[in-house]
Amino acid sequence: MADARKYPRYPAKSGVLAVLHLPHPMVMTTGQVVDLGEGGIGFVYTGTEGPYTGPAGLEV
Q: What is the DSSP string of the chain?
A: -----SS--EEPPTT-EEEEEETTTTEEEEEEEEEEETTEEEEE---SSS---S--EEE-
Mean pLDDT, to the nearest integer, of 8-28?
83
Asked if residue 37 lies in contact with residue 5, where contact means CB atoms within 8 angstroms, the answer is yes
Residue 13 banded pLDDT, cuts 50, 70, 90? very high
CB atoms within 10 A of CB 40: 13
pLDDT at 27 over 80: no
Q: So what's the pLDDT on residue 39? A: 82
Taking only the tens place, the pLDDT of each residue in 28-59 is 788 899 999 998 888 887 766 666 677 777 76
Q: So what's the pLDDT on residue 21? A: 79
Distance of CA 38 to the CA centre of its chain: 13
